[in-house]
Amino acid sequence: MARGLGKGIGALFPTETLENLQPNEDQIEKIDLQKLIVNPFQPRKKFEDEAIEELAQSIKEHGIIQPIVVRKKGKKYEIVVGERRFRAAKLANLTEIPAIIRDLTENQMMELAILENLQREDLTPIEEAEAYQSLIEKLNFTQEELAKRLGKSRPYITNHLRLLQLPDSVIQLINNGELSMGHGRTLLGLKNKRRIPEVADKVLKQSLNVRQLEALIKQLNEEVSRETEKAVKKDIFVQATETQLRERFGTNVQIKKSKNKGKIEIEFYSEDDLERILEILQLEQE
């Protein structure tokens, strides 16, 4: 499961912006639940019914300790932070909820919603990856910049983002907790990408752990290699060179030779991954 941000919202937003979001007794207002609408930029796709019910029970016993944050939208209010509390308050049959009203742009609203969710402990690896992707796209960060700002390593960010390359059916399995992030990363190593859903199904049916899946992927990839092997076999030198290149570039590298010519194939998984490889080659994109 996700462990939240290393540095938190403060790493991305100036102090004065954060101070505007802190509760102040004379700034808190009671707002009718019927006047609230959910955040259209909410990155969280799944709200656990059991967790909402537990929060509703706590609200019945202790009330709402921390107000939600909203912004005015016509005659209604959009929830910026606190949709779980809003849902639980409705379930607890409350008619109003304490809230801080803030004047925020749509970009600020979206960014705060994403960051608030990233700080939670119960995000799935996919939800975490989608949050990183949104921040990269909306704030124009590179993976390296985002990693530094959030106190994460670049491989940590990259490994999550790579999960989004999986087929939708497999992404759903990870979101539901039926497959782990380790399973997802291992499935991405399958050479025949079209077989990923089939292999994922086999993992579920046979209850394969990650190590067992790694062995299966290795076997399947060897079969692919044998099927596509050319008349000229790779000699020991070529195999050793491939290994060196894979370690150098941190991705799959293949040297393919025929009688009169050959080529080197370097795999990349995103524009950012390509940029990383080009930096290693000391090249710049035009």
In SS3 terms, 81-100 reads as ECHHHHHHHHHCCCCEEEEE
Is 83 known to be catalytic? yes
Select which of 78, 83, 116, 128 is catalytic: 83
Query: What are the tens digits of pLDDT across the range 258-275?
Result: 767 888 888 887 777 888
Domains along the chain with CATH numbers:
28-122 (3.90.1530.30), 165-225 (no CATH), 236-275 (no CATH)
Range in 7-21, 102-116, 127-141, 237-251 the model is least confident about: 7-21
* Burial status of residue 283 (CB atoms within 10 A of its CB: 0-12, 13-18, 19 or more): exposed
> Are 208 and 199 within 8 A, CB to CB?
no
For tokens 């991405």, the residue is: 188
Query: What are the tens digits of pLDDT across the range 112-168?
Result: 777 776 766 567 899 889 888 888 887 788 888 888 887 889 999 999 999 999 999
What pLDDT, on the 0 to 100 scale, is given for residue 254? Answer: 86
pLDDT for 103 beyond 80: yes
Q: Which residues pair with 97 in a beta bridge?
A: 31
Residue 229: pLDDT band with limits 50, 70, 90: low
Range in 43-47, 132-136, 189-193 the model is least confident about: 43-47
Taking alpha carbons only, the member of 22, 23, 64, 43 closest to residue 116 is 43
Q: How many helices (H) and strands (E) does the chain have?
A: 13, 7
> Are 129 and 143 within 8 A, CB to CB?
no
Taking alpha carbons only, the member of 8, 1, 6, 273 closest to residue 128 is 1
End-to-end CA distance of the chain: 39
For tokens 């000391």, the residue is: 282
